[in-house]
Amino acid sequence: MKQTYDFPADTAVLEKIGKLATDAGSNAGFDDIEIGDIQLALDEVCTNTIIHGLKNDPSRMFQMVLQCDPGVIEIQIHESGEPFDPFDLDDPNLENIMNEQSAGGLGLYFLRELMDEVDFRIGRDGVKTWRIVKRKSL
């Protein structure tokens, strides 16, 4: 099942996106822990898209494509906001973060830890696409 949604760059949409992820994860056969992983990863991508990419401007839009099949969920987020390549960032130093009590910079780390596949691409048209995939644990 594949569904496409368009959202304004407003953090108020995060609750609806979380609900969509919950429903899709449940339909694909994921347990509550796996659904929580999907929600956290998707929330991270969408929050950064809204705040950093689209500057929290509700007149700007992003698109979510949600595809779920038994045992697998794939989510793509498309946006044409500010230029950015998350893979240019250094991996966070977890010890420093714990000592400083700051969680900034952990988003990409969480994505990689929680999801089975994480891709980021910038198209020739400048549209940035996140693709995250979770497969059911055996």
More reliable by pLDDT, 100 or 126: 126
Instruction: Tell me, rounded to whole angstroms, the distance of Cα 35 from its chain centroid.
Output: 13
Tell me how many degrees the CA angle 126-8-134 measures, rounded to the nearest 5.
Answer: 70
| pLDDT at residue 99, rounded to an integer | 54
Structural domain harbouring 81: 2-135
As a whole number of angstroms, the distance between CA 54 and CA 61 comes to: 8
pLDDT for position 1: 86
Alpha-carbon distances, residue 32 vs 16, 76, 127, 128 (angstroms): 18, 21, 33, 30
Total tally of structural domains belonging to the chain = 1
* CATH of residue 61: 3.30.565.10
pLDDT per position as a tens digit, 69-101: 999 999 999 999 877 666 554 555 555 544 554
| C-alpha span between 80 and 92 (Å, rounded) | 26
pLDDT of residue 82: 74
Name the more confident of 90 and 6.
6
| pLDDT beyond 60 at 138 | yes
**Quick one: tokens of 2?**
């594949």
Q: Name the pTM for this structure.
A: 0.86
Instruction: Kindly report, residue by residue over 12-65, the tens digit of the pLDDT.
Output: 999 999 999 999 999 999 999 999 999 999 999 999 999 989 999 999 999 999
Cβ within 8 Å of residue 13, ≥6 positions away:
7, 46, 50
